[in-house]
């Protein structure tokens, strides 16, 4: 039965955008709940980036992005959760050490850094390598990140579904973002 609303109207009503945006919310939810894995950017998506020099594990302070822990607590029970970074000073061991300081390491099954992957964002091979090492196909995974060009556009080029965490409220058109959220607690509403 037609609702008389266009896809654009539904997108605005529900606060999400989707390149595959179905007319009915139920279809939308079904489309995204069939995913197997969520890939999270690290800095300013899960953990606040205080822009200090050196490895994050050695920073004086580490802190959650508001709402991230609550979302991960729920989502890690339904999905394989992966964390990935292009940070210059952190390898996998350093990531785990920093995340452990916050108690965040328990929510992730895989940890990837550009050091081990051999590629950095925005190179789509960064994501292709993550998929290969995690035994996933692009259609199985969702990338969640706060940098549109590095996280979202490059993940979309690799074939992933994308969630743009637009915490700062950037204005503009973000065609490579399937979903746009302003707060991390919104993530669990979509998955």
Could you tell me what percent of the chain has a pLDDT over 90?
68
Where in the chain are the domains?
1-34, 36-190
Q: Which of 63-77, 86-100, 133-147 has the lowest mean pLDDT?
A: 86-100
| Between 116 and 57, residue with greater pLDDT | 116
Give me the chain's average pLDDT, please. Answer: 85
55 falls in which pLDDT band (50, 70, 90)?
confident
Peptide bond into 23 cis (omega under 30): no
Q: How confident is the model at residue 33 (pLDDT cuts 50, 70, 90)?
A: low
Residue 150 pLDDT level (bands cut at 50, 70, 90): very high
Q: How many CB atoms lie within 10 A of CB 156?
A: 20
Residue 148 pLDDT greater than 60, yes or no: yes
| Homologous superfamily of domain range 36-190 | HAD superfamily/HAD-like (3.40.50.1000)
């Amino acid at each position: 039965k037609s609702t008389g609303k266009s896809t654009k109207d539904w997108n605005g009503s529900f606060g999400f955008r989707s390149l595959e945006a179905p007319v009915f919310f139920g279809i939308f939810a079904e489309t995204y709940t069939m995913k197997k894995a969520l890939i999270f950017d690290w800095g300013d998506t899960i953990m606040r980036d205080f822009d200090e020099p050196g490895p994050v594990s050695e920073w004086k302070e580490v802190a959650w992005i508001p709402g991230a822990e609550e979302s991960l607590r729920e989502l890690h029970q339904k999905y394989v959760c992966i964390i990935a970074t292009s940070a210059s000073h952190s390898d996998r061991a350093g990531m785990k050490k920093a995340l452990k300081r916050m108690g965040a390491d328990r929510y992730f099954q895989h940890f990837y850094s550009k050091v081990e992957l051999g590629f950095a964002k925005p190179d789509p091979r960064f994501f292709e390598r993550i998929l290969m090492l995690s035994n996933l196909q692009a259609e199985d995974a969702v990338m969640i990140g706060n940098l549109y060009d590095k996280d979202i556009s490059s993940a979309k080029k690799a074939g992933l579904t994308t969630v743009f965490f637009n915490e700062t409220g950037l204005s503009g058109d973000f065609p490579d973002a399937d979903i746009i959220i302003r707060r991390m607690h919104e993530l669990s509403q979509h998955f």
